[in-house]
Structure 1
Amino acid sequence: METETIMQGATLLLTFIMFWAIKHLSQQGLTKFRAKHRATLQSQRQLIQATRLLARARSTSKKSQSQSLAKTALTEADDVIAISPDDAAGHIVRALALDLLGQHTAALKSFDTALTYPRLKSLSVGERADALVKRAEMKLAVNRRRRIDSAIEDLEEATRLAAGTDTARILRLLGECYEFKGLNDKAQWASNEASKTQH
């Protein structure tokens, strides 16, 4: 009788412990999920805000206002990166803000970060092509002679990724790079392909 009572007590205690553990672990999981969801929403809101600020900075004719808006966009982008470091979008917005502020080398570094794994996985094929083109444009603006080969690599990859869409702009830029390098046959090919995609 005493052994049976002990066994019943142990079974009851074990059941209680299991119930408590399941409840506690599920609450922890739910809390983590809620926290992650809140962080994602916060990140998306700040990314939208940074993008709007950047658009306003580009459209204003007053340099002081443009610089102020770009700095605020940069702060927002940095906050997005702090919340979601593996999302390429924050790094791209950061790069665009830095470029607008005249910090071209730092902007290129941000683009490089955005276009490496694991951040690269967060971009669609089209977004990746756009980012490669923008990075190539920045490379050419910073130092065309030194960075031309790297810019060509970006543009060639962008052309492959954007195949079947409007690639005229990419091909025109690629043609200019080929021409700069003295690759006249390739420059002619790019020019012809750009013309075809426009019709």
Structure 2
Amino acid sequence: MMSPEAVIQVALFILTAATMLAVRELSKRAFGKVRLKNRAILQSSRHFLEGTHLLARARSISQQSQSMDYAKKAVNEAETALSLSPRDPASHILKALALNHMGHHSSALKSLDIALSPPCLKSLSEKEVAKALVKRAELKIAVNRKRRLDSAVEDLLQAVSLGGDDTKAFCLLGQCYEWKKMKDEARQAFEKALTVDPESAPAREALGRLN
């Protein structure tokens, strides 16, 4: 019969061995999850890059049917990327741009809304957020200018506060103010556009119209 000390030693040995095995198993599982996550991110990036290439082709082709075909393929690549990395704002933006190219403004707007909402938003730089806000303002106007004009102005004001060197944002903001019959604000926006780009033809034309 084993002594009490021997029993305790055996029990401690078994406990230590079990703990080591448990830690080893947990480490293997954690490493496996990290490896799978990294693989998914890599695959998502590949689909995103392919999608951007396809969208560039769509924009460069004058033949409409071919252009739409490339844009549709770009949407498919963006959706595949999102299936692997759902919180990637870049893929949501890519999908929005491709849908917009196809004329699906409402669907494009929904994709941009997702890209500009938590948790996607925190992955974007301020400049990227500003560009996405300008694009969303454009889409809001395209979908329903009368109902979404105020919301578009809010996006544009936020965009110029984040990245104040975007001539397009100031020009679109000025245009929105014109539609709202706010001539002084419109004039200021177009003047700021000229400050950023003194050669901006839209800003010069607008100021000539307002003065």
Instruction: Specify if TM > 0.5.
Output: yes
Match of 2:185, as an amino acid? Answer: K
Local SS of the residue matching 1:102: coil
Match for residue 97 of structure 1?
98
Distance 1:172 1:162 in 2: 14
Match for residue 149 of structure 1?
150
Match of 1:169, as an amino acid? Answer: K
Match for residue 64 of structure 1?
65
Structure 2: which 5+ runs fail to align?
A: 199-211
Q: Report the count of equivalent residues.
A: 197
Match for residue 9 of structure 1?
10
Deviations 1:166-198 (A, max 9, x none): 222211111111111100010111111111122
Q: Spell out the pairing of 1:4-83 with structure 2 (5 A cutoff).
A: 4-83=5-84
Structure 1: which 5+ runs fail to align?
A: none
Match for residue 175 of structure 1?
174
Pair 1:194 & 2:208 matched = no
Task: Give TM-score scaled by structure 1 length.
Answer: 0.94
Distance 1:56 1:20 in 2: 54
Distance 1:170 1:74 in 2: 26
Deviations 1:53-74 (A, max 9, x none): 1111111111111111111111
Local SS of the residue matching 2:91: helix
Distance 2:192 2:73 in 1: 40
Distance 2:176 2:73 in 1: 34
Distance 1:192 1:98 in 2: 33
Q: Spell out the pairing of 1:125-164 with structure 2 (5 A cutoff).
A: 125-163=126-164
Distance 2:64 2:196 in 1: 36
Deviations 1:89-108 (A, max 9, x none): 11111111111122111111
Pair 1:109 & 2:118 matched = no
Match of 1:116, as an amino acid? Answer: S
Distance 1:61 1:198 in 2: 29
Match of 2:4, as an amino acid? Answer: T
Match of 1:193, as an amino acid? Answer: K
Local SS of the residue matching 2:135: helix
Local SS of the residue matching 1:68: helix
Task: Give TM-score scaled by structure 2 length.
Answer: 0.89
Match of 1:198, as an amino acid? Answer: D
Q: Shift in Å at residue 137 of structure 1?
A: 1.2
Kindly report the root-mean-square deviation, in angstroms, between the aligned alpha carbons of the 2 structures.
Answer: 1.3
Q: Shift in Å at residue 134 of structure 1?
A: 0.8
4+ residue segments displaced more than 3 Å: none
